[in-house]
Chains A and B, each alone.
Chain A
Amino acid sequence: MKILKYIAVLFIAAVITQTAMANSLTGYQIIEKAVNRPAPKTQKATLTMTLVSSSGSKRVREIDQFTNDDSKVEKKIMFFQKPADVRGTSFMNFSYSGDKADDQWIYLPALKKVKRISSDSKGDYFMGSDFTYDDLGDRNPKDDNHEILREETLNGEECYVVSSTPKDKDYMYSKTITWVIKNKWIGLKKIFYDENGDLLKTLNVIDYKNIDGYWIQTIVKMINEKTKHETIMNLSNIKVNDSVPNSYFSERIMKRGIK
């Protein structure tokens, strides 16, 4: 435990030094810090995903999710609880560091089969939401050119405002602007521009919590400004660094579920 305390002190010292140096931080450094802020190795949570169509109709999905991240591969398994007609459907995703494409499996109880899904695009929408896999996963900061625009207060938090332009001209966004809370290195807001430079989406972090030392965004809302479609993702019952063994991530468990 002593070692832990020591690390914590070091960590705080580091944060203080960084704050002092804040003015000299580059846009790249800010985004890099936000992406690489400490994250738990495992996580259990209930994800409530609310999809709001432009006409205002709502669909609510409730999913139990389990994550295990060993820095090389992030494994995630999800079980649908609601709505009733898809209860028992499960989804498993292995996300690799580096360029390797994700591996995905789905189990449909009505078909009683586990199927592999392969997709070549990080630009696909996650479960029909307004989030792409790329929006959820952390995009490698090296893929963009970053520029710090200004510092401002948003929702009572001191933020850096950073503009990021992709090096790949064919990327689905032409530019993003991110608000990163100073010292917490957590994103508070992000706006996305499409290929033509038009405003496409706005992401707002409605709530975030510090759970056992980790800053976790618990309620996020993405609005597609073109279609006026909204997605609200709400994480509850979060447990970090609880036991999520590697054995959870198998086809057998996908079919059976985690009791």
Chain B
Amino acid sequence: MIKIISKLLKYPKSLLLGLFMITVVFFVFLRANGRMETDLDKYMPQEHPAFVYSDKAEKWFDIKDGIIIAVENKQGIYNSGTLSKVKELTKELQKMKEIEPRDVTSLYTADNILGTDEGLDVKAFYKRVPETETELKELQENIKGNDMVFGRLVSTDETVTVIVARIDDDVFSQEFYHRILETVKKYNEPEILHVAGRPIVEGTMAYLGPKDMKKMIPVVLVVIVLVLFLLLRNFKSTLLTVLVVFFSVIWAFGLMAALNVPAYAVSSMIPVMLIAIGVADGIHMYSHLHIYLKDNTQATKSEAVFDMVKEMWKPVVMTSVTTAVGFISLLSSEVYPIKYFGLFTAFGVLTAMAVSLLLIPAGILVFGLPKVKERKSTDETKTKKWESDFHGIISKFLIRNKTITLAATILILIVSAYGMSKIWINSSFLDKFERNSDIVLTDKFINEHFGGTSTLNVILEAKKENAFKNPDVLLQMSKIQIDLEENLSEVGGSFSLSDYIQRMNQVMNSDKKEFNTIPDSETLIAQYLLLYEMSGDPNNLWEVVSEDYKKANLTFQLKNDNSKALNAAIGRIEKSREFFESRGITMKYAGSGYKGLVFTDLILEGQIKSVIISLFIVIGLLALMFKNITIGLIGSIPIVITTVISFGIMGLLDIPLSTTTALLASIAIGIGIDYAVHFIERYKIYARETENREKTIRLTMLHSGRAIMFNAFVVIMGFLVLTVSVFPPNRALGGLVSLGMFTSFIGTLTVMFLVLYLSGIYFRKSKK
């Protein structure tokens, strides 16, 4: 390896040009073939049984997510102005190519089934916009009298009415999202129009997240450049270190484009990882160069460079390979975007390694050594003395207080473990937004006036046809609905076949409230259903039951799309499983909310699996590299500490796990390994050189310790920038990456250092 590098370094200019050309090639690929995947369904593993089933159920019952448009008039909606807006907007939505006309529901499209003494009256609420006082009054009475509309399409305070446009998953695009918002805007005033619903939330997120990242990443880079410059005190060194990150990001994304892999939302984490990891190699190499130049003031440019390469190639390769292996372990995840994330980050890490080992030395050979600090010699020695004293004091302090340090660490770990037990996964999209953002306020507004913007579908499947004409089964369905609506504040409404039967029973009995029940005769139910098919739109019926009455769909409306609300609902629904199973009816779940829940579970499961796998691989690799199993175990200390504390703090601060935050374990591994390897490698070298434990510690602290501190400082400063982001998930990311860097750094320099010291490894002979 060293031979290849040395040979290549004989032609530093061509080498620089070569690296630059490769980067250009990857950049061209990226420009020509790079694309972003915005269809959230593509993120989910299509072959997973829960998704396969949900997709099937969505087809059976035509379950689709709806865009909800609320038309609010504080003076009340029963006036010709508001009603004509509802009509016009309904028609405009029906004419959009993304929306099927029959998928738009509003007061204008809904049918009113009225019971009269002599019969049944099926009518549209209005076709021509009512003008007169009497017509408006009549409409108001009709709506109030119909439970299937009052509270569902019109709020009970009669100031809001909704238009729901259901759309297929695959039609949603940024362009459509903006067109919907523009269309709705035209209808404002005096009415206020609000747009909500899962497609809108997903659309806003897909739009806001990357937009915010695009804005923030350059700021992060600028801060990192500035901090690096402050620490390295040299422009050229800073530039070369940052170029390493820059090249590795372009290579990684260029390769993705070349292999025709689209960028997913998690892919925006790749540069995040590469920034955090890529600067480390440069910092450690420069750190070594500085020390070498201080000790050998007369050394030539090439002597210094070759010493740097000779001494540093090994730890750089070791750290990079272990980090890459850590990321490759993400291939065990069932979620494709995460697999790709692991694979291409690993590639980026190896790129950063190769580029660091070639670009930095070649750059120094071409552009010259960084100027040795031309400070007054008194200052110089003062600084040096202070630095050396500082590190010496820290190490002495730690050794003196080893019991306290170890006890404190264990205490922190116990508290963190408690925090970890409280951690929860959140599949919510809405929780990713600012509490006072438009989208959250609109959602809240609609949830206050209506049943809920999120849905959970319960799919019941029987073995026999006509099973759902059975009164007992229908009654049980109705019982679940009442139970959830009464006992869970998050459940705002529900809808099933039993609602239709109850409505028909009431209507056919002169609209008397006491008949709003399930009749106990199966033939009467069958005849009601036939009647409904004959008089209403049977397509409505096929959204709650299959045509052979073998399958049924119970829909719950939830006021919150987070995992807690979904799990609470599922918990209560599960109580009826026994009842249904005793009748040969199976119960399963479906819908986008449920898929989101399963999806986050899968991500978490994949994360835990990959963390455990990579922990073992890393211990093994370290043991192999240092030819010592104890070293492997000691080297894993920073990783374990960082992982446990990160997740512990998330639990304690009630930050839920999500697709992005779950990936933080990977950062912990990537960075923890770097620190451990650099530190142990130096420790080993100085141990051989000095054969003195105290000296070894002091020198290692000065060499690696300083570099680690620099590295941590640079990345922490960079990522703290993200904490002022407008997009909460990016804020959490900034805070947690900074925290991870900090704990890795502290963990390496305190606990791992102590354990290494106490283990007496590399000092066998002098061991007392």
A residues lining the B interface (CB < 8 Å): 51, 53-55, 57, 59, 80, 83, 85-86, 89, 91, 105-106, 108-111, 113, 115-121, 124-128, 170, 194-196, 226-227
Contact = CB atoms under 8 A, between A and B. Distances in A.
Contacts of A54: 59
A89 B530 contact: yes
A51 B123 contact: no
B523 A110 contact: yes
Nearest to B521: A110
Interface centre among A59, A118, A170, A227 (most CB of B within 10 A): A118
B119 A117 contact: yes
A43 to B, nearest CB: 21
A192 to B, nearest CB: 13
B537 interface: yes
A194 B527 CA distance: 31
B190 interface: no
A179 to B, nearest CB: 25
Contacts of B139: none
A128 B534 contact: yes
Contacts of A226: 100, 102
Nearest to A113: B508
A196 B548 contact: no
A131 to B, nearest CB: 12
B689 interface: no
B531 A124 contact: no
Nearest to B532: A128
Nearest to A226: B100
Interface in B73-117: 94-95, 97, 100-102, 116
Nearest to B96: A196
A108 B539 contact: no
A108 B531 contact: yes
Given A85-B522, A116-B120, A108 B508 contact: yes
B311 interface: no
Contact of A51 (B97, B531, B535, B547): B547
Given A108-B528, A110-B524, A117 B535 contact: yes
B469 interface: yes
Given A116-B120, A126-B534, 14 more contacts: A53-B542, A53-B546, A57-B548, A86-B523, A106-B120, A110-B526, A118-B120, A127-B534, A128-B530, A128-B533, A128-B541, A195-B95, A196-B95, A226-B102
B535 A121 contact: no
Contact of B530 (A53, A86, A119): A86
Contacts of B59: 54
Contacts of B123: 118-120
Contacts of B530: 80, 86, 89, 127-128
Contacts of A116: 116, 118-120
Contacts of B60: 55
Given A85-B466, A117-B535, A195-B94, A110 B547 contact: no
Given A59-B548, A91-B534, A194-B101, A124 B523 contact: no
A233 B666 CA distance: 63
A101 to B, nearest CB: 11
Nearest to B123: A120
B494 to A, nearest CB: 24
A86 B526 contact: yes
Contacts of B546: 53, 55, 57
A86 to B, nearest CB: 5
Given A115-B120, A120-B124, A57 B547 contact: yes
Contacts of A83: 526
A106 B547 contact: no
Nearest to B56: A55
A91 B120 CA distance: 13
Contacts of B550: 57
B170 interface: no
A89 B533 CA distance: 13
A158 B533 CA distance: 38
B100 to A, nearest CB: 7
A127 B536 CA distance: 9
B18 interface: no
Contacts of B119: 105-106, 115-118
Contacts of B539: 227
Contacts of B124: 120-121
A125 B508 CA distance: 20
A116 B121 CA distance: 8
B121 A118 contact: yes
B523 A85 contact: yes
B132 to A, nearest CB: 18
B94 A128 contact: no
A89 B527 contact: yes
Contacts of A125: 533, 537-538
B259 interface: no
A83 B546 CA distance: 17
Contacts of A55: 60, 546
A83 B522 CA distance: 13
Nearest to A89: B527
B547 A53 contact: yes
Minimum-distance CB pairs A-B, first 4: A128-B533, A116-B119, A85-B526, A110-B524
Contacts of A108: 508, 524, 527-528, 531
A111 B524 contact: yes
A105 B102 CA distance: 27
Contacts of A124: 122, 535-537
A96 B95 CA distance: 33
Contacts of B120: 106, 115-118
Contacts of B524: 108, 110-111
A69 B704 CA distance: 101
A86 B531 CA distance: 10
Contacts of A86: 523, 526-527, 530
B373 to A, nearest CB: 74
A148 B378 CA distance: 104
